[in-house]
A and B are shown apart, each in its own frame.
Chain A
Amino acid sequence: VSDQPLDAAALDRLRQLNVPGEPDVLTEVLDLFCRDVPPRLSRLAAAADAGDMAAAERVAHSIKGSAANIGARALQEASRVVEDAARRGDIVGVQANVPAVHTELARVIGAIEEM
């Protein structure tokens, strides 16, 4: 896992998806990420507090997927840890690892805002 919150190669791959005359794909995808992932993280935290492991697994899985698409490796890994704990029904493990997802998401959004 690189120290950078966003993997440059993944961002380059998104840049290459541009089609002339269409909106910039990278900008759109990053905007969508910043709009859509924070509310999902709130749902993950709520599911963790409520001990709803099925919901926690599903939401952590979706955050992991979004992170993978923009090359946010550390966030991807942090959500994978939560997803795996939720699948095992490990409520303590889920609750212990949700803060790392918060930290990594904040780093990713910070990096996106600096771009």
Chain B
Amino acid sequence: MPAMEVLVADDEPVSRRVVTAMLTKAGYAVVPAGDGQEAWALLTGDAAPPIALLDWMMPGIDGPELVGRLRARETPTPPYLILLTTRDAVADVVAGLRAGANDYVTKPAYEDELVARVNVGARVVELQRALTERVRHLEEALASVRTLQGLLPICAYCKAIRDDKNYWQRVETYFHEHSGVQFSHSYCPNCYERHVKPELDALEGARDAARRGPGR
């Protein structure tokens, strides 16, 4: 499996280089962004990194504004957002979390803490992916079940069913194609009395007649 991508947006190159080194060592693939505008373009583009570390103070679009804009978008896979903030700005943290950030890390970041928090993000992203996949499967299943609902034209005599392409199909074939259900052939007690038993009796009679032979 390829390394998970993490976007690191910071206009301050020394911090960006250090954070990049920490994440690279932990096995992530870092996508750098030099300011908020670049981060926005990368996070709203194709193949956007699923996790982003956003510096609080950046020219153009700052961290909290970026979080607000990203959260205003309708997307099935919203990114996991971590704000980078200085130690003396704890009050800002609440505003950042309210804007929709998942977490924050104070700067300068400590390797163990930063990596642990990004790992939490990676777990959330994995869970989200698994859920999205699950929902997709369920939607597919639901779509085929829907074709079994509503009004089905059925022949009153042979019980064949007319499909949406105007073909008459045996009831077993129709249900197998629309639900994956398989049929095992058997008979109910009523049909045993009405159809099976007379056939067995007739067979028995024919065998007895044959055993008695033509010699009598």
Taking CB atoms, residues of chain B closer than 8 Å to A25 are: 17-18, 21
Q: Which of the four size classes fits the interface of chain B? A: 10 to 19
Select the stretch in B8-16, B150-158, B171-179 that faces chain A: B8-16
- Indicate if B61 sits at the interface (CB-CB under 8 A): no
Q: How far is the CA of A66 from the CA of B12 in the complex (A)?
A: 7
DSSP class of B's interface residues: helix, strand, loop or mixed?
Answer: helix
Taking CB atoms, residues of chain B closer than 8 Å to A28 are: 17
Number of A-B contacts (CB under 8 A): 54
DSSP class of A's interface residues: helix, strand, loop or mixed?
Answer: helix
> What string of 1s and 0s marks CB contacts (under 8 Å) between B99-119 and chain A?
000000001101100000000
Select the stretch in A10-18, A88-96, A99-107 that faces chain B: A10-18
Q: Do B17 and A70 touch (CB < 8 A)?
A: no
> What string of 1s and 0s marks CB contacts (under 8 Å) between A1-37 and chain B?
0000000000001101111001001001100110011
Q: Do B13 and A36 touch (CB < 8 A)?
A: yes
Interface size on A, residues (CB 8 A): 23
Q: How far is the CA of A69 from the CA of B17 in the complex (A)?
A: 10
- Indicate if B31 sits at the interface (CB-CB under 8 A): no
Q: Do A70 and B111 touch (CB < 8 A)?
A: no
